[in-house]
Amino acid sequence: MNRSLYGKLSTNGMKNNRELYTPFTLASGGVFTLFFIILSMGINERFKMTGFSGMDNIQLVLRMGSVVIALFSLIFLYYTYSFILKRRQKELALYQILGMERKHLCKIILHELLHLLAKSLLIAFLLGNVIYKLSENLLLRISNTFLETSFFPSVKAYLFTVLLALFIYLLIALKSLWKIRFLRPIELLREANAGEKKPKMNIFYLISSLVLLSIGYTMAVRIQSPIEALGKFFIATLLVIIGTELGFVAISVGVLQFLQKRSKYYYQPKKFTNISGLISRMVKNGVSLANIAIIATAVMILLSTASALNYGIKEMIRNVVPRDGNVYMAYEDYDEAKEEVKRILKEKKLNIRNERELRGLNFYAVRKNGEFQFLQSGRALTEKGSCFYAILCLDDMKDSTLKPGFYGEKSYFPEHGISIGDKNYKFSYQSEELPIDHLYDLGMKNAIILFENLEGVNEFEQDLNHQNIPYQRSANYGFDIDNSNIDYEEFREEFLSIDGVHQYQTFETKYKEFRQITGGVVYTGYFLGIVFMVALALIIYYKQLTEGYEDLQRYQVLQRVGMTKKEIKATINDQIRMVFLLPLFVATIHMAFAFPMVSKILNIFYLENLRMYIKFVLLTLGIVVLLYLLIYQLTSKVYYRIVTSKQSTRKA
């Protein structure tokens, strides 16, 4: 057969199926563009010219993000092309019936894939070069760094993008050739009319799904330590993904079959057709609907987390640097060093406010079976129920209404006292409210024990030393100044020259550092969120196409049993809405259970404001719902166009 004929047949096939190939080409080019851009910035040597040591971490996050995009591109494009191949199987079967050999069909498919590959890479490199500079500027702005941007992306990024595209399209080609070479025409036609392969409907799937989801949800809800949350997040995520894949069909069809057995409910015209139609749709398309639910959950988590880190950065820094100026000094030199700091500020005729004086001891402990147990710092981060205790003295407190005793949640109160050797220190419970702000971060619970005077604190320290119990000293003085134009950095040299002062931190300096550290995470989070949202739109689009072609026969059957066109349209509308809204409902449930674990992980970045994160979660949920419904409305037009045009064609 003439080689040019293969090209003509493949070109005509793609033209006649524009509604299938155009979205796939754009999506393929889009994911390769995102991979190309994020990898370029992840390996760009020019970023090291910023002089910021944290830029290595930012680029590491970007490279990790490029790996995630690569894996997602592989799964997404491989899965999406199966829709196209399924719709083309009738055409390919017809070619074979007309006398074409399987090797000829394989060559046609290879020509199509080469066309798609070339177009995808062309889109990726053209679009990538256009928006690369904008993306680079955006990353530097989020990271609060400055660099004269390079105009051209990394050469290595071109190479890796081409290799990724070749690998993915090679797998797609192997799958397509396998299906063609080992299927007969009658099998091709039969499979083209079949729905997606359904999971086996048995009790094992149902029980496995419920068990996996229960373990994943329980793990997410009961987690207490931020470090433990980070370590178990991927395990819990994997359990929920597998549980969703296994149980989406089993649970939904099980509920529908239960309703089907209720004869009084089921045998009503509208409910009869709705339930029977929904069972058919769920069994055929359950796997892809489960994927939609998982991707929608990923979008919610990524966008809400990135937004919380981006807009909550000032609050995050306040947990580390409580005041605009913070002087850290040796415990034994606290009084003299603090007074010297105040003297310097007074000489400059500055009005000091919001003073924060902190001198004391701190340690980690946990209450187990009513007993108070001291912990090493490393173990405390993963120990369930651990708490950070600060030992302070009443003399250093500004509030005259305070009394000696315990301040914090009652569950951490040592009601039987703290035993150190042969001594037992007992305290009265005073209040759940802490008398000093921003005591400790990383999501661990805080408690304060106030002694009457410094002598009591020193005696407690001696007993800790005698028993080799781990603890730390802390002494710092924080302040704000009634002048918004003041540069807190101008005091650095003077403060560090004071005997006993070993560190000086300002809010503004810490803000710049945090911006640079979290910039890569925020940028990658937004990028991946956009990628998954595009994937969500394309999957829904192809599902609408599939539903449209499959409902051609349903329209005819329902007309034959006596239903009017209005009733048929209303019935199918109800079914489609329920089918496409169900993944959104499942995604919302997943997000609700993921919230405790994700909020703990945010504690690692010193973000502890749950109210703010809840607002971003709800805002993201609202945006995702609106975009989801918008995508549904736009793609549903494709569905109705297929059904109505085919129906009118059949009548003609």
Per residue in 533-576, pLDDT tens? 877 777 777 677 766 666 666 666 666 666 666 766 666 666 66
Give yes or no for a contact between 409 and 447, defined as CB atoms under 8 angstroms apart.
yes
The pLDDT of residue 122? 93
Long-range contacts of 601-605 (CB under 8 A, 24+ apart): 601/226, 601/229, 601/230, 601/233, 602/305, 602/308, 602/309, 603/226, 603/441, 603/442, 603/443, 604/226, 604/227, 604/230, 604/442, 604/443, 605/309, 605/316, 605/518, 605/521
Between 203 and 587, residue with greater pLDDT? 587
Q: Does residue 163 carry a pLDDT above 90?
A: yes
Alpha-carbon distances of 46 from 65, 105, 134, 524, 587, rounded to whole Å: 19, 48, 16, 19, 40
| pLDDT for residue 269 | 59
Using pLDDT thresholds of 50, 70 and 90, give the confidence band for residue 87: confident
- 420, containing H or E segment: strand 418-420
**516-530, 566-580, 620-634: lowest mean pLDDT where?**
566-580
pLDDT at 150 over 70: no
Low-confidence winner among 115-129, 224-238, 273-287 (lowest mean pLDDT): 273-287
pLDDT score of 211: 92
Residue 591's pLDDT band (cuts 50, 70, 90): very high
Mean of pLDDT values over 254-274: 66
Please tell me the least confidently modeled range out of 154-168, 470-484, 555-569. 555-569
Q: Supply the pLDDT for residue 214.
A: 93
- Give the whole-number percent of the chain exceeding pLDDT 90: 13
pLDDT for position 118: 93
Closest alpha carbon to 614 in 606, 602, 626? 602
What are the C-alpha distances in Å from 580 to residues 408, 542, 552, 629, 640? 47, 12, 19, 9, 15
Does residue 298 register a pLDDT over 80? yes
Amino acid symbol at 424: N
Contact between 233 and 449 under an 8 Å Cβ cutoff? The reply is no
Mean pLDDT of 436-445: 66
Q: For 335-349, 426-440, 571-585, 592-606, which range has the lowest pLDDT when averaged over its residues? A: 571-585
Choice among 31-35, 54-58, 216-220, 301-305 with the minimum mean pLDDT: 54-58
pTM of the shown model: 0.72
Mean pLDDT of 67-96: 77
Whole-number Å distance between alpha carbons of 179 and 166:
20
Could you read off the pLDDT of 380-418 as tens digits, one per residue?
767 777 888 999 988 888 777 889 999 998 888 988 889
Can you read off the two tokens belonging to residue 96?
């074979």
The larger pLDDT score, comparing residue 149 to residue 456, is at 456
* For range 76-93, the mean pLDDT: 76
329 neighbors 477 (Cβ within 8 angstroms): yes
Dist CA 478 CA 194 (whole Å): 70
Q: If you average pLDDT over every residue of the chain, what do you get?
A: 79
Q: How confident is the model at residue 199 (pLDDT cuts 50, 70, 90)?
A: very low
pLDDT tens digits, residue range 114-136?
989 999 999 989 888 887 777 77
Give tens-digit pLDDT for 613-630.
899 999 999 988 888 888
- Mean pLDDT across 247-271: 68
Whether the per-residue pLDDT at 340 is higher than 70: the answer is yes
- State how far the Cα of 120 lies from the Cα of 33, in Å rounded to an integer: 9
Number of helices and strands in the chain (H, E): 18, 11
Residue 405 corresponds to which tokens in the numbers above?
Answer: 């005793």
d(CA 233, CA 60): 20
Mean pLDDT of 244-257: 74
Asked if the model's pLDDT at residue 141 lies above 80, the reply is no
Mean pLDDT for the stretch of residues 354-361: 86
Least confident of 46-55, 367-376, 507-516, 517-526: 46-55
Q: What is the pLDDT of residue 505?
A: 87
pLDDT of the residue at 160: 93
pLDDT score of 643 more than 70:
no
Q: Which residue has the higher pLDDT, 206 or 235?
A: 235
pLDDT over 70 at 77, yes or no: yes
Q: What is the pLDDT of residue 386?
A: 83
Check if the beta carbon of residue 169 is closer than 8 Å to that of residue 116: yes
Q: Say if residue 161's pLDDT is above 70.
A: yes
The residues facing 364 across adjacent strands are: 375, 388
What is the pLDDT confidence band of residue 153, given thresholds at 50, 70 and 90? confident
pLDDT-based confidence at residue 250 (cuts at 50, 70, 90):
confident
Render 283-341 in DSSP notation, one character per residue.
HHHHHHHHHHHHHHHHHHHHHHHHHHHHHSHHHHHHTT--SSEEEEE-GGGHHHHHHHH
Average pLDDT over residues 339-350: 88
Rounded Cα–Cα distance for residues 336 and 356 (Å)? 16
Is 175's pLDDT higher than 60? yes
Rounded mean pLDDT, 358-382: 82
- Looking at residue 200, its pLDDT comes to 44
DSSP state of 452: S
Share of the chain above pLDDT 70, in %: 76
**Quick one: pLDDT at residue 547?**
67
pLDDT band at 650 (very low <50, low <70, confident <90, very high): very low
